[in-house]
Amino acid sequence: MKRIAGWLGTLCYKLQNHYLLGVSLRNWLWLWVLGPPVLSAFGRLPWTRAILVSVGAGLALAGIELSRRRNYLVFEPAHLGEGENEAPPIQVDEQVAGWASGLFRVGKKLKYVVNEPAQYSYVRSREHMVMVHVRQTRFFLLAKSARSEAGWWYAFLEPERVQAAETGYVWAGLRARPGLALSYWAQGLPSQPSTICLAFADRETVQRVLADLRIDAPQGAIIDR
């Protein structure tokens, strides 16, 4: 079920973020909800077929909305344990490669991304950052993601502002990767914590990130089941 949910989440995210003639593929589904009854009213389409098409498109829209409320992915809390090899600590300005999902910004613009290539890093002041590289992509050949949203997006945090960091598996697409869900108080968004899901290629990298966060994070914030 988690594999299916992860695949559906990625599909729904792509439908929401790819556009045809300036309209997202998600909104194009409304044409399939409203169009068949209109064609049927003018005798262009049998009522039975119109109902089937409209109901199918309506269910797809409902699935997209449900997936959006679940942030288009599945996070499965789990104890990952130690990796096979002792992992060296993260160095200043080192960029740890992985994938990230969550709310990111450039200036005053905000964007929610899912399973995009990312880099985890920190500077000498111990301010941490997650940098996400959003690429312009195609979907179903004709639809494209927005060119204006392509580029680097950022999330900045100090470890002492971390509310919780929990290890587990991030299900996005058809596969699960070891990672963690990181909840923190984001600057400029004081009303509620922001959550970023980070995924990595192996457990050793997850343990490196956890060890780095433990240096400054509040006591009890790190959850490694």
C-alpha span between 120 and 128 (Å, rounded): 8
Q: What does the alpha-carbon distance between residue 216 and residue 225 come to, in Å, rounded to a whole number?
A: 20
Dihedral Cα 179, 181, 182, 185, nearest 10 deg:
160
Q: Which two tokens stand for residue 128?
A: 């941490």
**Pairing assessment for the beta strands 222-223 and 162-172 based on DSSP bridges:** parallel
Q: Which residues contact 146 (CB under 8 A, 6 or more apart)?
A: 17, 19, 136
Using CA atoms, how far apart are residues 61 and 58, in angstroms rounded to an integer?
5
| pTM of the entire predicted model | 0.84
Contacts of 135 (CB under 8 A, 6+ apart): 145, 150
Domain boundaries, the chain: 2-69, 74-223
Please give the full DSSP string across 130-151, using - where no structure is assigned. Answer: EEEEE---EETTTEE--GGG-E
Give, for all 225 residues of the chain, the pLDDT tens digit.
777 777 788 888 888 899 998 888 888 888 888 888 887 887 777 888 888 888 888 888 888 888 787 788 889 999 887 655 567 889 998 999 999 999 999 988 889 999 999 999 999 888 899 999 999 999 888 899 999 999 999 998 877 788 889 999 998 877 899 999 999 887 766 567 889 999 999 999 999 998 898 888 888 788 765
CA distance 126 to 219: 17
Per DSSP, helices labelled H in 89-214 are: 203-214
Is CATH 2.30.29 the right assignment for the domain spanning 74-223? yes
